[in-house]
Chains A and B, each alone.
Chain A
């Protein structure tokens, strides 16, 4: 019996593409938990859609609906971000369809701070009336929209632009903007990593096994099978370090020193790709002049990695060129962590560039993002993009010139509300009150707004202080805007597709915006259905919406090809090692060593840097209320703060003891996990807990969160949160 041979990708795909109705063949089977011989027939449908268990990946999945009930999830083998696999959240999240904490109809805040159900009509009328008044008085720029950039974000942009406000904001400043800005400055965009074909992979504060991206962890496993070496630079023995050849427990916040020393070795020993550097980069000589001051002998004292190791890693890395890469990173290491994160990310970009791995197999490459069809083509002209500057200063010379205009600065909202610049706001698919620094301040800011409308599925912390809460369909109940998030070496189109009929009196975003826009006088911009919209979006590709709905993913455009084929979108068109543009903005044009902004007191045995990170079973702050996942947290005792064993013992701590954690703005209690897998200078807190919205009954009261301890900072380059610049005192209770 040739079992293995039959499970090939091709046969699987054929089965998947054939029909979405699989009842009958799947129905009759002997279950091992069923009585011997008893067969049960069931109506099973298999619907391709996107997982919404985290905003980041939106994996292509098939949802099985068995007798009307979402049963299980399978990975779509064709989608880039997950390539057939599903993470634990993806499996568990479908059950939140039935989560008792879901919002079942629009809610309005009463004078006593309670929420009363209202009709959609009432909600639309009241919101648009109030919004019209605010716009009349303070102008459209006093209205903002904040959201995690899901596929629906063009709808939000359209809505805001129609109103005349430029203030669309994402979570970016709390996540990755330092990295994005640095790669933009260097490559003119954010390249992806060809991990699969790489033979030497360095991860710096990136943990795809915990901060899950399935494709990356899958490709790393593949590369390792083919002989790749994996080196993980992380103060914590991350889940990816578990499968790495080497774990380098760097002192947090000092990766820049390590990278400068690496670059130093590569240049001093002539290990770089001379041809690539000459042809495709600018400013190498400036770097060469400066880098001599950063030898490994200098770096080891700063970053706690022995110089021999730095020499070895630098040489190995360079010797595998061009099939070697330093992962572009995400959040943990230098996404928005430190004062020096922007320059750290610049150093990552440059270390990659000088070994010539850009646009090379096994190196970095620019993803092939397809451009979706325009709505104009269907007679729906786009509103003018307002010419007003963004209130948060992103992309504004003299303020945060390197900040991303489209992401904005999320945690500036409370300040802007307190100062009266923002009067009204929409929060969609985001929970800034829990995911932005310093909750006291965030609450004060958002409360100051005259009108706050949150569109969510549950009563998040943010929803729980909004004037109106509009419940969106759960993802299994709706169709969303076509998405290009899966584009990597080839463009891919995917979408969220309805799997079951809505359970409650909820609406999808487009319907909410359409109805709202009528009362706001911008109805002409929202006069299409989701199907009409998506059909127009698909027009350039010669595929139909039905085809996409059947397969869940369609590949479009050309496959990525090796080679420096297009100029970079930098001012010089080349890879900018030295950036004149940064220089003109008064920012270091070359990465130079910078200390982190704050550091723990080495002579105080209670003083630690507070780090945080993802666990594979939770998304940010949104899955703590998913019972299946929270049960895993409890079962595996995961709601604990990591602390270095030696340091813990010096504080008289045992595994499982409760400690008090205190920073200058926050205080909390949490259990500790003693481990040898953490740099002594830091404690590490899983970032998925600490829910304080009482409406979220499964999550409420379990654990604490790093944002409780984080001051409000704006890094001077892009205005990110600097979320690892936290010093806490840890003591036994």
Chain B
């Protein structure tokens, strides 16, 4: 029998052979990178902005008009960037449509994709409703508007919770597999939304719209004290959640304890404690407390603490996304 002609070339990567540095176990490979961090972060900002906006709107659409409208203007956009991040992170981005042709009820990502899609639609409607010439109608609070607001509130809660749940349901990754992750990320999302609003207010203090109504000193102070109050409360909760998160990991299984090592004496220690705890929580907390108790609203202080909070919000997601992938359940 004649032997066949040999066909083909060297398998794999053309003719260049890459010898990669050693990896003893496959745990510790980073599959989700900064694109996913951006996705989680921007989803948080959008959800938070929407959540704050609608909450403020429910409480007093007149008094908190600036917050309501700024939040509404912010909400639709970060999440679109986030979705772009998610799609770019897919290994087969052109297959993205498959996410939107299936609903897998057990898959947090599938549900999340749908929630985010709905959220985006609702946030756009809400955005339109809040455009200057429509805002008056909003204030009248017809049933339709109320329904949109309610839907928006539910969806923004969903999105804010989703990012954490996406991670926390994975028993494979002890760093993520705790209920404190959704808690932490939820609070952080609302804070980020708030920080976004606060920053926008500072950068564009006149806020647009019907100047006559909005330009008094009192209006500004109203909005700011709302922000500071919520900020203070949420930051306090966030601090609590971090403490519970750490104690929780530390007092749990062998896997969890070693997972904790990553932010206590391990690879992400500095980033977690300086980038998140100090910059993103402690400083904004101090600044907010100072403003709140002195009733002394300084724009620069506000802006700084909002920026730091946003940085902290990104950093904490980055740490969580990466650290989680480095940890593995002990198998045997």
Within 8 A of B (CB), among A635-682: 635-637
A697 touches B17 (CB 8 A): yes
Which residue on A lies nearest to B14, using beta carbons? A100
Number of residues on chain A facing chain B (CB within 8 A): 34
> Is residue B9 contacting chain A, with contact meaning CB distance below 8 A?
yes
Binds A, one of B21-29, B150-158, B263-271: B21-29
Within 8 A of B (CB), among A60-106: 65, 67-70, 95, 97-100
Q: Mark A572-585, 1 if CB is under 8 A from B, else 0.
A: 00000000000000
Q: Mark B76-101, 1 if CB is under 8 A from A, else 0.
A: 00000000000000000000000000
Binds B, one of A190-198, A253-261, A496-504, A559-567: A496-504
Q: Mark A699-717, 1 if CB is under 8 A from B, else 0.
A: 0001000000000000000
A68 touches B15 (CB 8 A): no
A631 touches B8 (CB 8 A): no
Which residue on A lies nearest to B22, using beta carbons? A637
A631 touches B19 (CB 8 A): yes
> Is residue B10 contacting chain A, with contact meaning CB distance below 8 A?
yes
A634 touches B3 (CB 8 A): no
A635 touches B3 (CB 8 A): no
A47 touches B10 (CB 8 A): no
> Is residue B11 contacting chain A, with contact meaning CB distance below 8 A?
yes
A500 touches B23 (CB 8 A): no
- Report B288 CB to chain A, min CB distance, Å: 45
B17 touches A698 (CB 8 A): yes
Which residue on A lies nearest to B7, using beta carbons? A68
Which residue on A lies nearest to B23, using beta carbons? A635
> Is residue B1 contacting chain A, with contact meaning CB distance below 8 A?
yes
- Report B101 CB to chain A, min CB distance, Å: 16
Within 8 A of B (CB), among A501-517: 501-503
Determine the chain A residues whose CB is within 8 A of the CB of B5 once the complex forms.
Answer: 68, 500-501
> Is residue B4 contacting chain A, with contact meaning CB distance below 8 A?
yes
> Is residue A150 contacting chain B, with contact meaning CB distance below 8 A?
no
Q: How many A-B residue pairs have CB under 8 A?
A: 66
B10 touches A627 (CB 8 A): yes
A20 touches B1 (CB 8 A): yes
Main secondary structure of the interface of B (DSSP, over half): loop
Determine the chain A residues whose CB is within 8 A of the CB of B6 once the complex forms.
Answer: 68-70, 97, 476-477, 500-503
> Is residue B20 contacting chain A, with contact meaning CB distance below 8 A?
yes
Which residue on B lies nearest to A499, using beta carbons? B3
> Is residue A45 contacting chain B, with contact meaning CB distance below 8 A?
yes
B21 touches A69 (CB 8 A): no
Determine the chain A residues whose CB is within 8 A of the CB of B8 once the complex forms.
Answer: 67-69, 98
Q: Give Cα distance in the complex from A635 to B3, angstroms.
A: 35
> Is residue A21 contacting chain B, with contact meaning CB distance below 8 A?
yes
Which residue on A lies nearest to B20, using beta carbons? A634
Determine the chain A residues whose CB is within 8 A of the CB of B7 once the complex forms.
Answer: 67-69
> Is residue A630 contacting chain B, with contact meaning CB distance below 8 A?
yes
A100 touches B10 (CB 8 A): yes
A635 touches B20 (CB 8 A): yes
Determine the chain A residues whose CB is within 8 A of the CB of B12 once the complex forms.
Answer: 627
A47 touches B22 (CB 8 A): no
- From B4, B9, B10, contact of A65 by CB (8 A): B4
A634 touches B1 (CB 8 A): no
- Report A638 CB to chain B, min CB distance, Å: 8
Determine the chain B residues whose CB is within 8 A of the CB of A70 once the complex forms.
Answer: 6
B interface residues (Cβ-Cβ under 8 A, vs A): 1, 3-12, 15, 17, 19-24
A interface residues (Cβ-Cβ under 8 A, vs B): 20-21, 43, 45, 47, 65, 67-70, 95, 97-100, 476-477, 498-503, 627, 630-631, 633-637, 697-698, 702
For the complex of A and B, the 6 pairs showing the least CB-CB separation, nearest first, are: A637-B22, A68-B7, A500-B6, A627-B17, A98-B10, A69-B8
